[in-house]
Amino acid sequence: MRLFHSPTTPFGRKVVVHLKETGREADVTVVPAAGTPLEPGSLPVGRNPLGKIPALELDDGTILYDSRVICRYLDDRAGGRLYPSAPRLWRTLTLEATGDGMLDAAILMVYEVRLRPEDRRSGDWIAAQWSKVARALDSLEADWIGHLRGSVDMGQVAVGCALGYLDFRHSARDWRAGRPQLAAWEKEFAARASMAATVPQG
């Protein structure tokens, strides 16, 4: 299988962390890909019509895209390691969606600054995206610590990658302020071998 991926994409990081956590890295060859919505560059637009990474090309030529789809596929191959059975599954999927939603908002903030001319940028838009992230962070602190401290699953991986991306691209906003439990959990989770080996670079 071939995984189209960039070391700066947090969604691709989720997939690589899954492979490391399940011991299945040898199943996948990583194909470097990079670009933006304005300049696709080497993004796999021929394999994913949305032009996004990660995208996974199976040995039979089938293309899977969206990190959640790819991770569910890989987890099925690995014997269901990081997606538990119901009823915990529904919490895991909701937590994964929360982490992914944080990433969507955080990436849009980056695009607003990097891809728009300065005179066309919207401070209100950036603030609105950050408000989504902040609400999610507050929810994680108030409602999710018990789940985060439980057995490792893809919900935790998604949140760990989201928090790592906030450090990578939005460190000045100090997401840890006022969220001591989440900060303590992130410190421990970030030390896992799979996370430490995939810290975004660039």
Same domain assignment for residues 72 and 98 = no
Q: Report pLDDT for 27.
A: 96
Q: What is the mean pLDDT of residues 142-159?
A: 98
Alpha carbon separation from 81 to 15, 66, 71, 115, 153 (Å, rounded)? 13, 19, 11, 39, 8
Q: Is there a domain that residue 200 lies in?
A: no
Claim to verify: residue 94 and residue 173 sit in the same structural domain: yes
% of the chain beyond a pLDDT of 90: 88
Same domain, 37 and 124: no
Q: How many CB atoms are located within 10 Å of the residue 119 CB?
A: 5
Whether 107 and 140 map to the same domain: the answer is: yes
Q: What is the mean pLDDT of residues 14-27?
A: 97
Q: Is residue 154 part of a domain?
A: yes
Cα distance between residue 189 and residue 148, in whole Å: 9
Q: Verify that 116 and 144 share a domain, yes or no.
A: yes
**pLDDT value at position 34?**
84
Same domain, 141 and 180: yes
Specify whether 167 is located in the same domain as 73: no
31, 58, 77 - which closes a domain: 77
Lowest-confidence segment of 24-38, 124-138, 149-163 by average pLDDT:
24-38
Give the model's confidence band at 41: pLDDT under 50 very low, under 70 low, under 90 confident, else very high.
confident
Which residue(s) pair with 2 in the sheet? 29, 57
* Co-location of 9 and 50 in the same domain: yes
One domain, residues 26 and 114: no
| Torsion angle of the four alpha carbons 56, 58, 63, 64, in this order, in degrees rounded to the nearest 10 | -50
Q: Residue 100 falls within a domain, yes or no? A: yes
Question: Are residues 106 and 185 both part of a single domain?
Answer: yes
- The CATH number of whichever domain residue 187 belongs to comes to 1.20.1050.10
Mean pLDDT, rounded, of the chain: 95
Instruction: Measure Cα distances from 62 to 34, 36, 148 in Å.
Output: 21, 24, 34
pLDDT above 70 as % of the chain: 99
Tens of pLDDT along 72-93? 999 999 999 999 999 999 999 9
pLDDT > 80? residue 139: yes
Number of domains in the chain: 2
Which pTM was predicted? 0.95
Is the residue at 202 inside a domain? no
Q: Are residues 97 and 178 in the same domain?
A: yes
25 in a structural domain: yes
Q: Which of 52, 77, 102 is the last residue of a domain?
A: 77
The pair of structure tokens assigned to 50 is 């949305």
> pLDDT tens across 87-122, in order?
999 999 999 999 999 999 999 999 999 899 999 999
Q: Which domain holds residue 39?
A: 2-77
Q: CATH number for the domain including 52?
A: 3.40.30.10
Do 66 and 109 belong together in one domain? no
As given in the structure block, the two tokens for residue 160 are 């760990």
pLDDT greater than 80 at residue 38: no
CB 33 within 8 A of CB 4: yes
